[in-house]
A and B are shown apart, each in its own frame.
Chain A
Amino acid sequence: AQKITQTQPGMFVQEKEAVTLDCTYDTSDPSYGLFWYKQPSSGEMIFLIYQGSYDQQNATEGRYSLNFQKARKSANLVISASQLGDSAMYFCAMREGPDDMRFGAGTRLTVKP
């Protein structure tokens, strides 16, 4: 069964606007971590943000915030004030234990000038 689902293969956003990238997950483990990574066309994987399952508040890192809805098992990434350099693939990932890191299929974000 798919553990991480990213339903948007591609997204477009106008420069300076906000965009939400969806991620839902499936786990029965009460302890888990959720991550978002960015992969530009260069291929490198860049860590963006982390949310622990026991964290009470939504994680934020600069223009990135994670809309964590535990009951719905969703961990959407919100990028505010989009920039052209935000165009990339974005991957949601979940870790249930130290040896079980699963990535979603990714969403390709294109920022239009």
Chain B
Amino acid sequence: GAGVSQSPSNKVTEKGKDVELRCDPISGHTALYWYRQRLGQGLEFLIYFQGNSAPDKSGLPSDRFSAERTGESVSTLTIQRTQQEDSAVYLCASSLGGDPMGNEQFFGPGTRLTVL
């Protein structure tokens, strides 16, 4: 595939359950980002991976959120004990490494999470 893919596209879960969201970046892109977008709002930065470096997790809203990435491939965002305020679209983006300033991010279609 040519673009960033995310799965599932939609996820409905019950409060208290754990969910796992997946992101497949563009091949060759060393940088990977996760964002949260609540309805009608802008993007909230969550976490960033660059190559094999330790990620900056300071954007994660609580310790219920965690993310992993193996090498420069797939990433998973896990939300434990989901709450209704976690309901949002979770967007993943990837970009080339090297000069981080100018490399635009390519976004996936997002996962719409609804917590009942």
Interface residue ranges, A against B (CB under 8 Å): 31-33, 35, 37, 43-47, 50, 52-53, 91, 93, 95, 97-106
Task: Give Cα distance in the complex from A53 to B100, angstroms.
Answer: 13
Q: Decide: B110 and A32 in contact? CB cutoff 8 A.
A: no
Which residue on B lies nearest to A43, using beta carbons? B110
Segment among B13-21, B39-47, B61-69 that sits at the interface with chain A: B39-47
Contact B102 A33 (CB under 8 A): yes
Contact with A43, one of B42, B48, B89 (Cβ below 8 angstroms): B89
Q: When the two chains form their complex, are residues A45 and B102 in contact, meaning their CB atoms are under 8 A apart?
A: no
Instruction: Bin chain B's interface residue count.
Output: 20 to 34
A32-B101, A45-B105 known, 4 other contacts, Cβ within 8 Å: A31-B101, A43-B89, A43-B109, A100-B45
Chain B residues with Cβ below 8 Å from A43 are: 89, 109-110
Specify which of B50, B91, B105 lies most central, judged by the most chain A CB atoms within 10 Å of its CB.
B105
Complex Cα spacing A13 to B11, Å: 36
